[in-house]
Amino acid sequence: MKKGISMNSARKRDLVMLIFGLILYGVLQMMISTKIIGSFWELNIILICVNIIMSASLNLINGYTGQFSLGHAGFMAVGAYVGVVATVKFGLPLIVALICGAIAAGILGFLIGLPTLRLRGDYLAIATLGLGEIIRIVIMNIDYVGGAAGFKGIPHLTNFTWVFSAMLVTLFFIKNFVNSSHGRACIAIRENEIAAEAMGVNTTKYKVMAFTLGAAFAGVAGGLFAHQFYLISPTSFTFLSSFNYLIMVVMGGMGSITGSIAGAFVVTFISAALASFPEARMIIYALALILMMFYRPQGLFGYMEITNIKPIKKFLDKISGAKEAT
């Protein structure tokens, strides 16, 4: 009985958070439509949403499953190029292109994950870093997608509605996955892989599952990113891009969806605010990371979610009627 009440309360809480998300969308969309938010900040809001998808999907691998991937930009590149081929070469709608990109990136993630996820720690990081670079170099040598010069003539199909919707779907999917039995198995692997295996958890299965899902969502982000600009090139998906997404995850908190949102927002905002001062931007990045490691090594949120902060939890419980149900 209590389990049923708890699940019902969780669904109500999800519904409340979804309503808050839609309210936020309505406010931002109104401000964009009325030009209160100019084109520069509109672009950066779109990039924040794309980066939230990237950081949340990487957090599923690094934060929740305890692996160390450094090639996430490679899966983004696969989603981007498959997406633009679908729309430009075959005339497919954006939603189909995003699904194709997600499937392609997910399949590649599965094929890469099977052999590499038997490695651990630094060895896995080196392997994923190398594979991310291999993906980029292979794309550079395919003339069909423009080679090193990049893919030109991409239609501008991405807008705030598309990226915000994709971001909400990604966050709610990962949140529900983490709270499922599959997610608990991933967390058990993160805490102690040997103990999890001894308890009967198929560690390879769940590591590959998390890696595949993370890669698929990176593919969605890549498709949205590519259709925001008229040109994409392999230089947009270098190791530095993967490192940038890792910074977002570490800064926000590994193992926290709220942390993924906060990390993506802070890093993208700093980049936008200091766009005219690239040297100062890198210095501030470095100082922010050093201070974070000294005073908040677990990140802004650590393992905590915003819904677990006492005042917010009480407010959500009151709205969802959780107290009355108990």
- Where exactly are the structural domains of the chain? 2-325
b/e 91-111 (16+ beta carbons within 10 angstroms → b): ebebeebbbbbbebbbebbbe
Look at the block and give the residue holding tokens 């090594």: 297
Question: Which residues on adjacent β-strands are paired with residue 232?
Answer: 151
With bands split at pLDDT 50, 70 and 90, how would you rate the model's confidence at 123? confident
With bands split at pLDDT 50, 70 and 90, how would you rate the model's confidence at 202? very high
Whether residue 180 contacts residue 187, with contact meaning beta carbons closer than 8 Å, is answered with no
d(CA 310, CA 306): 9
Picking from 185, 161, 175, 159, the residue whose alpha carbon sits closest to that of residue 261 is 175
What's the rounded mean pLDDT across residues 101-114? 95
| Crossing angle of the two packed helices 94-116 and 203-226, in degrees rounded to 10 | 150
- Hey, what are 25's tokens? 């969308």
What pLDDT shows up at residue 106?
Answer: 97
Entry field: residues in the chain: 326
Is the confidence at residue 175, as pLDDT, over 60?
A: yes
Picking from 3, 7, 12, 22, the residue whose alpha carbon sits closest to that of residue 319 is 12
Q: How far is CA 123 from the centre of its chain?
A: 23
The DSSP result for 8-34, as a single string, is HHHHHHHHHHHHHHHHHHHHHHHHHHT
Is the confidence at residue 3, as pLDDT, over 70?
A: no
| Crossing angle of the two packed helices 94-116 and 72-84, in degrees rounded to 10 | 150
Q: Decide: helix, strand or coil at residue 34.
A: coil
Is the confidence at residue 307, as pLDDT, over 70?
A: yes
With bands split at pLDDT 50, 70 and 90, how would you rate the model's confidence at 7? low
Mean pLDDT, the chain, integer: 89
Fold classification of 2-325 (topology level): ABC transporter involved in vitamin B12 uptake, BtuC (1.10.3470)
Look at the block and give the residue holding tokens 């003339």: 143
With bands split at pLDDT 50, 70 and 90, how would you rate the model's confidence at 8? low
What's the rounded mean pLDDT across residues 50-60? 97
Is the confidence at residue 96, as pLDDT, over 50?
A: yes
- Hey, what are 74's tokens? 């490679």
Is the confidence at residue 4, as pLDDT, over 50?
A: no
What pLDDT shows up at residue 281?
Answer: 74
Whether residue 78 contacts residue 219, with contact meaning beta carbons closer than 8 Å, is answered with yes
What pLDDT shows up at residue 325?
Answer: 47
**Which of 175-179, 216-220, 254-258, 287-291 has the highest mean predicted lDDT (pLDDT)?**
216-220
With bands split at pLDDT 50, 70 and 90, how would you rate the model's confidence at 2? very low
pLDDT digits (tens, 9 = 90+) for 283-298: 877 788 788 878 888 8
Q: Decide: helix, strand or coil at residue 205.
A: helix
What pLDDT shows up at residue 24?
Answer: 95
pTM of whole model > 0.85? yes
